[in-house]
Amino acid sequence: MKWTERAEQNLSHLAIPHLIRAIGLLNALVFILYKLNPGFVQYLTLDPAAVWRGEVWRLVSFIFIPSLGGPVVDWLFAALYILYLWWIGDGLEESLGSFRVNLYYLIGVVGTVIAALATGSPGFANGFLNSSLFFAFARFYPDNTIYFMFLIPVKIRWMAWITAAFIAFGFVFGSWEGRFAVIAAFANYFIFFGRETFQAAVLRREVDTRRKRFEAAQPGEDESLHRCEACGRTEHVAPELEFRVARDGNEYCVEHLPKPPAAL
């Protein structure tokens, strides 16, 4: 991605190392404050009406709300959620570097904010945004394994496909606000990996098409590669036979192979 390379050359000094770690720790802080004062979270959500009234911190603060089924999160699941963000962030930084992770996340945040302000809906949160991090992680580490319910080993690639299926279902049958939320939050993924994903899909289709053509050109079980022009026997009827192509261009078994004309 040449454009990200150019941006990194000019703006790499602005990158925040371990950004996703920091966001995870701030999620933990918000969770603790929520436990002390449940009404606290209401001042952090991405509410367009409140933003237009001057509460501009909401443009950023919504990313610090733990997104496991809303703000009511048990301590165990909150801890797992923070560790999950930490793990995802470290993996992405190892593959993309700090600057690109910063840029990737920033694009998702900006897209979500724009969609929320454009629709005026207060329902935009950071769930899809964090899912975009997971899909980027799955792109680089598809064979890593996590244990669902602490018992069932599942590869990241399959978790990504399952998550994508649920998101696609919600996109098709959900509200227009929900569709905007998906498109906005995943703008970063499409910008970073859309072209590569499309090219890979085209390549797989071409390979599959060539494979089908090759298989169609191969003889079936009832077809033969060799047939004697004189006796009609094939390699299926007499596997021990050897076949040769004569001067006349036809194929014969060695028993009926025409003899060359005698020399004068």
**Percent helix, strand and coil across the chain, each to the nearest 5:** 65, 5, 30
Look up residue 60 and give its two tokens: 């950023």
Helix (DSSP H) and strand (DSSP E) numbers for the chain:
10, 4
pLDDT in tens, 46-73: 999 999 999 999 999 999 988 654 444 5
- Return the pLDDT at 90: 92
Q: What does the alpha-carbon distance between residue 228 and residue 221 come to, in Å, rounded to a whole number?
A: 18
Q: State the chain's mean pLDDT as an integer.
A: 82
Residue the block writes with tokens 């098409």: 209
Report the DSSP beta bridge partners of residue 251.
245
How far is it, in rounded angstroms, from Cα 2 to Cα 11?
Answer: 14
Average pLDDT over residues 10-20: 85
Q: What is the CATH number of domain 11-205?
A: 1.20.1540.10
The residue ranges of every structural domain in the chain are 11-205, 226-258
pLDDT, tens digit, for every residue of 70-114?
Answer: 444 577 788 888 888 999 999 999 988 899 999 999 999 999 999
- pTM of this prediction? 0.71
Percent of the chain with pLDDT over 70: 90
